[in-house]
Amino acid sequence: MVTAPAIADEILDLKNRRNAIVLAHHYQAPEIQELADVIGDSLELARAARKFSGDVLAFCGVWFMAETAKALNPGRIVVVPDRNAGCSLVESCPAASVREFRRTHPDYAIVSYINTSIEVKAESDILCTSRNAVRIVNSIPPQQPLLFLPDRNLGNYVRRQTGRENMKIWQGACVVHDTFTARRLVEARMEYPHAAVAAHPECPESVLALADFVGSTSAIIEYCAASDAREFIVMTESGVHYSLTRSAPGKRFHFVANEHCNCSECPYMKLNTLEKLRDALDTLEPRVELSEEIAARALAPLERMLAVQ
Ligand code: 13P
Ligand code: SF4
């Protein structure tokens, strides 16, 4: 147990009184994950939000994930511990630029990664996450020209996996994954020669080319648990370490520092703390509020994604 007991008790009590659940992304600090009702990657958390039937949903992740949960729960309260928990991918893709693309390319379908603002989702034909991006693109007729946004590394990965030529790719990037380098990965492989390499598709192609496995956060955890290897170099956010040690006890995990912070932490995800979660459940702020019109338009591509098996 790593949680400060007094705050943990307060949170459990508030969860009861508010008829609330806590959803947490794998990148959250261990003490937050310990109190979560569901821990997952962005697809699993969207699915959990869709099933939710209580009154208050406390979303421990980043803002776009909480917006997604709110679009799926328009009549319920959705709070986040820290309003500033953003995402560099969201910032790279303003809705006005997407609307301009739509105006100048009316024949294109827009496939948006879930790491976008609710306004960009509202401009999209279908959403995807890192877990289902290849499946989503393959579900679209091959002759249909596509814009994939905003992550260039995930977009290029999907293009390589699907062989899809008629796909334009937005040039956004994740500040954490895009700054992992092949040089540092090669150094790590020299240090841990028996380790298998698992990487998130937001990493550059030069890193993915050296990986034994490429997949979403939860897919990486599943791979490490199922693999015969005992040791792994994990090219993603280091919060995953907590879930990895729970799913694959006894195995060893090494994280590689990126060029952005010389670490492997998402600065946005790490803004959330146990104290802020307690306060959010207490005050019901910061609360996600969406325009009804935007939320309804964003819900259509979100539901289209959730319908793809
Ligand atoms: P996952 O869908 O793999 O959880 O990815 C979300 C994310 O923000 C990765 O940086
Ligand atoms: Fe966004 Fe990257 Fe942080 Fe994920 S790790 S929330 S993509 S900045």
> What residue's CA is closest to ligand 2, atom 7?
174
- In tens, the pLDDT along 142-165 reads 999 999 999 999 999 999 999 999
d(Cα 60, Cα 98) in Å, to the nearest integer? Answer: 28
Look at residue 3 in the predicted model and tell me its pLDDT.
Answer: 55
pLDDT at 1 over 70: no
Ligand 2 contacts CB of residue 268 (under 6 A): yes
Regarding the domain delimited by 177-255, which CATH topology (the fold level of the hierarchy) does it fall under? Answer: Rossmann fold (3.40.50)
For the CA of 218, the nearest ligand: 1
Ligand 1 contacts CB of residue 243 (under 6 A): no
Average pLDDT, the chain: 97
d(Cα 214, Cα 234) in Å, to the nearest integer? Answer: 10
pLDDT interval class at 5 (50, 70, 90): confident
Decide if 89-173 and 177-255 have a common fold.
yes
How far is ligand 2, taken at its centre, from the CA of residue 107, in Å? 30
How far is ligand 2, taken at its centre, from the CA of residue 143, in Å? 32
- In tens, the pLDDT along 96-148 reads 999 999 999 999 999 999 999 999 999 999 999 999 999 999 999 999 999 99
Q: Which two tokens stand for residue 142?
A: 């091959």
pLDDT at 303 over 70: yes
Domain coordinates in residue numbering, the chain: 4-85+269-290, 89-173, 177-255
Regarding the domain delimited by 4-85+269-290, which CATH topology (the fold level of the hierarchy) does it fall under? Answer: Rossmann fold (3.40.50)
d(Cα 178, Cα 189) in Å, to the nearest integer? Answer: 19
Look at residue 2 in the predicted model and tell me its pLDDT.
Answer: 53
pLDDT at 221 over 80: yes
Q: Tell me the pTM.
A: 0.96
> What residue's CA is closest to ligand 2, atom 5?
266
- Which atom belonging to ligand 1 lies closest to the Cα atom of 219? 3
CB atoms within 10 A of CB 46: 22
Look at residue 98 in the predicted model and tell me its pLDDT.
Answer: 98
75 versus 2: which is more confidently predicted? 75
9 contact partners, CB below 8 Å, separation of at least 6: none
Look at residue 4 in the predicted model and tell me its pLDDT.
Answer: 62
Class of domain 89-173: alpha beta
d(Cα 287, Cα 73) in Å, to the nearest integer? Answer: 13
Ligand 1 contacts CB of residue 117 (under 6 A): no
CB atoms within 10 A of CB 106: 7
- In tens, the pLDDT along 35-82 reads 999 999 999 999 999 999 999 999 999 999 999 999 999 999 999 999
d(Cα 58, Cα 18) in Å, to the nearest integer? Answer: 10
HEC string of the chain?
CCCCHHHHHHHHHHHHHHCEEEEEECCCCHHHHHHCCEEECHHHHHHHHHHCCCCEEEEECCHHHHHHHHHHCCCCEEECCCCCCCCHHHHCCCHHHHHHHHHHCCCCEEEEECCCCHHHHHCCCEEECCCCHHHHHHCCCCCCCEEEECEHHHHHHHHHHHCCCCEEECCECCCCCCCCCHHHHHHHHHHCCCCEEEECCCCCHHHHCCCCEECCHHHHHHHHHHCCCCEEEEECCCCHHHHHHHHCCCCEEEECCCCCCCCCCCCCHHHCCHHHHHHHHHHCCCECCCCHHHHHHHHHHHHHHHHCC
pLDDT over 70, % of the chain: 99
pLDDT interval class at 309 (50, 70, 90): confident
Letter for the amino acid at 240?
V
Look at residue 139 in the predicted model and tell me its pLDDT.
Answer: 97
Look at residue 66 in the predicted model and tell me its pLDDT.
Answer: 98
For the CA of 26, the nearest ligand: 1
CB 251 within 8 A of CB 220: no
- In tens, the pLDDT along 209-218 reads 999 999 999 9
Rounded mean pLDDT, 169-196: 98
